[in-house]
């Protein structure tokens, strides 16, 4: 078994995270379904492979794809990473997927002798580029300790929360709050603007209050200047996460009224056809519901993530 590291999935997050591993000096080999997206990685020093099975001789293969079904496909479908005779020693997945799907994937991988760690993250691609992700892992502790240094190369902090799929539950809870906060932030911003407070003034005051956070701060420039084309995370991915949150709430018998209302609002936004746009476009929807026509305030401001 070589020290080669494999990477599958070079979307917004995968590209930024894989680059951190390369920068830390690892021998990173990458595959992406849309081959053209791998080119920037080659420039950064990665080796591009032609098929997923070319990564089967790697010590560890990281995956960062969209949904549970996508992860199953890249692993087990024809031509999948573990569908051939040779297998990697372990798979480390950072996609935001369901707990049940993750447990099924663990069972299948472990039955083949392949170790499996869940390693979801908090932060968008810009946060990843700035080296400020939080990475929360679960699975066998010994496996986590073996790869902890690699995980640290991609994040400002890494944590192990327990065995099995517990990191999935953590991520689902995190992203449920992520949805609820943007919903509420958009609602109150529209209310404040309709009452007469300029948007950037209101948002800056919230950022500096007890309820401000890294999240409200880095969404502020986009909400002020309406730059929703600078996509960090799409409405469709957020809807997937709200559904995962409500699915977990049902499984554990926990009522989540705020998350349920937010889910419907996000679903309506997705239904209105928003595709390749940032989820913060929700502000526009909330404004339209209130008869408010939004205009960019064209204020130069920092999201606190510039390096």
Which residues would be at the binding site for ligand NAP (CB under 6 A)?
A: 9-14, 32-34, 37, 64-66, 70, 73-74, 95-96, 121, 124-125, 232-233, 237
Residue placing its CB nearer to ligand NAP in the complex, 280 or 287: 280
Least distance (Å) between residue 39 CB and ligand NAP = 12
Please give the Cα distance from 174 to 193 (Å, whole number): 28
CB nearer to ligand NAP: pick between 10 and 190: 10
DSSP tally for the chain: helices H, then strands E: 12, 9
Q: What is the closest distance, in whole angstroms, from the C-beta atom of residue 209 to ligand NAP in the complex? A: 24
What's the token pair of residue 62? 């990281």
Best CA proximity match to 209, nearest among 182, 185, 179, 187: 185
Pick the closer one to ligand NAP by CB: 10 or 155. 10
**Beta-sheet pairing, 47-48 with 28-31:** parallel
Q: How far is the CB of 58 from ligand NAP (least distance, A)?
A: 17
**What minimum distance in Å lies between the beta carbon of 184 and ligand NAP?**
19
CB of 244 to ligand NAP, least distance (A): 9
User: Which CB, 8 or 283, lies closer to ligand NAP?
Assistant: 8
CA 149 to chain centroid: 21
CB-neighbour burial class of residue 200 (10 A; exposed 0-12, middle 13-18, buried 19+):
middle
- The dihedrals phi and psi of 5, each to the nearest 5 degrees, come to -115, 140
Token pair 């990475």 is at which residue? Answer: 135
User: Please, which residue, 73 or 187, has the CB nearer to ligand NAP?
Assistant: 73
Judged by beta carbon, residue 64 or residue 143, the one nearer ligand NAP is 64
Q: How far is CA 170 from the centre of its chain?
A: 13
Residue 303's nearest CA partner among 191, 182, 203 is: 203
Percent helix, strand, coil in the chain, to 5, is: 55, 10, 35
As measured in angstroms, the least distance from the Cβ of 289 to ligand NAP is 25
């Amino acid at each position: 078994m070589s020290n080669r590291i494999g990477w599958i999935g070079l979307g917004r997050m995968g590209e930024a995270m894989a680059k951190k591993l390369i920068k830390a000096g690892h021998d990173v080999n990458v595959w992406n379904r849309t081959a053209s997206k791998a080119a920037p990685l080659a420039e950064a020093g990665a080796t591009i492979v032609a098929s997923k099975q070319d990564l089967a001789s790697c010590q560890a293969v990281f995956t960062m794809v969209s949904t549970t079904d996508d992860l199953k496909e890249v692993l087990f479908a024809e031509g999948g990473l573990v569908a051939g005779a040779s297998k990697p020693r372990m798979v480390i997945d950072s996609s935001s997927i369901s707990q049940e799907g993750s447990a099924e994937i663990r069972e299948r991988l472990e039955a083949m002798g392949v170790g499996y760690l869940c390693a979801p993250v908090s932060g968008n691609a810009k946060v990843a580029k700035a080296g400020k992700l939080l990475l929360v892992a679960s699975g066998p502790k010994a496996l986590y300790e073996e790869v902890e240094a690699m995980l640290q190369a991609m994040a400002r902090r890494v944590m192990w929360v327990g065995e099995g799929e517990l990191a999935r539950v953590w991520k689902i809870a995190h992203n449920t709050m992520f949805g609820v906060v943007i919903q509420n932030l958009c609602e109150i911003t529209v209310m404040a603007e309709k009452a007469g407070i300029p948007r950037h003034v209101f948002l800056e005051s919230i950022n500096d209050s007890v309820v401000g956070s890294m999240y409200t701060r880095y969404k502020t420039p986009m909400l002020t200047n309406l730059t929703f084309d600078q996509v960090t995370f799409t409405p469709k991915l957020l809807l997937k996460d709200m559904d995962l949150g409500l699915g977990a709430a049902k499984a554990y018998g926990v009522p989540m009224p705020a998350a349920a209302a937010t889910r419907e609002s996000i679903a309506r936004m997705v239904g209105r056809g928003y595709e390749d746009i940032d989820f913060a476009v929700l502000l526009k929807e909330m404004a339209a519901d209130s008869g408010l026509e939004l205009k960019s305030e064209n204020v130069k401001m920092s999201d606190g993530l510039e390096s």
